[in-house]
Amino acid sequence: MIYLDNSATTQPYKEVIDSFVKVSTDYFGNPSSLHGLGGQAERLLSRSREQVATLLNVSPKEIVFTSGGTEGNNMAIKGVAFQYQNRGKHIITTEIEHDSVHQPFKQLEEWGFDVTYLSVNEEGLISVEELKNSLREDTILVSVIHVNNETGVIQPIAEIGHMLDEYPKAIFHVDHVQGIGKVPLDFKKASIDLLTLSGHKFHGLKGTGVLYAREGIKLAPLLSGGEQESHFRSGTENVPGVVALAKALRMTLENADDKNERIKKLRKILVGQLSDQRHLTINSPSHGAPHILNVTFHGMKAEVFVHALEDKGIYVSTTSACSSKKKSPSKTLLAMGKKREDADQAIRISLSYQTTQEDAEKAVTAILQAVEELKEVVKEKR
């Protein structure tokens, strides 16, 4: 098996699973309990918060543990909207956000908020000038994805953050789920107010995540109850998951530059051997994230191509895994000006540090074989 769907989810590190099992078995107390077992769990929770904060170069007070990217994005977006709606009800995002950002904005539109959706160019980049021109006196939130989950295009987050310094009423949220460990981002230098991470995207466990909330930012909580996580998120903390997430983040960021150089070389192998094929078009920009490659296979339905590769032991995906079972084509590719037919025939190949050069070369061979086989099937049907 060659797994090339790492943007959908990554294989957890063995050490991460071991940590989860150890904490679940020996330190299963509720961290809010007053007895010794609860105290042990609370200390593990505090230590993990400090570790994550140190790794991200922020304060432990700015770390909120969540269940993943979807919850983190909803907490940030709806939390700001409801907390600051008396200041204004204008909010800004882009046309190529992950559904866990796009759908909350659609909901907020239904609830009376005025949303501006920024367009992108043919590479998938927004215009910072368009964003600046879209800002109004009543703008309370700007949400921009760092690394697009389908094409790997990298938005100029630091430039946006510096521009927004002049508009203190507008809170800046970044979906950094696909960027962590692959594309460096200094939260403080980029003037980011809120930022989302998801554990299972960096070899942690599903159901774990982080919301970075800059000190001073207030959010209307989505969940009411015991007021855990500094009142941001009620509910008994997932201590084993949090410990596992902290370990996964540490292991991911260790020697990250070396790991990413290896991934870049693998991406070059894929691009070099696929780019001269006339039956396909590479949709990802050359200067995009190192681990994501989006390709349109002309005349071949993406779903059929995914299964053809699966038969050869190669695992890729169509659009975002969260949207792959929907029949509609990629909204990201459509926003980039791709034809509907081409957007409907695109697949995503996503690498990790676990991918080897042999994997990449075998994948290219399998892809080219599948193209030839499916071309024959198309001819027969005609």
Active site residue ranges = 322
Q: How deeply is 282 buried, as exposed, middle or buried, from its count of CB atoms within 10 A (0-12, 13-18, 19+)?
A: middle
**320, 333, 323, 296: which is closest to 120 by C-alpha?**
333
Q: How far apart are CA 150 and CA 357, in angstroms?
A: 22
Q: Do 66 and 195 touch, CB atoms closer than 8 A?
A: no
**312, 295, 296, 307: which is closest to 359 by C-alpha?**
312
Q: How far apart are CA 5 and CA 350, in angstroms?
A: 5
Angle at 105 (CA atoms; ends 179, 207), nearest 5 degrees: 50
Tokens of 215: 């000190």
Q: Is 374 helix (H, G, I), strand (E, B) or coil?
A: helix
Place of tokens 């509907």: 340
Q: How far apart are CA 165 and CA 182, in angstroms?
A: 26
Q: Do 9 and 199 touch, CB atoms closer than 8 A?
A: no
- Residues facing residue 281 across a β-bridge: 296
Q: Do 313 and 285 touch, CB atoms closer than 8 A?
A: no
Tokens of 49: 């918060």
Q: Do 139 and 91 touch, CB atoms closer than 8 A?
A: yes
Sign of CA dihedral 32, 35, 40, 41: negative
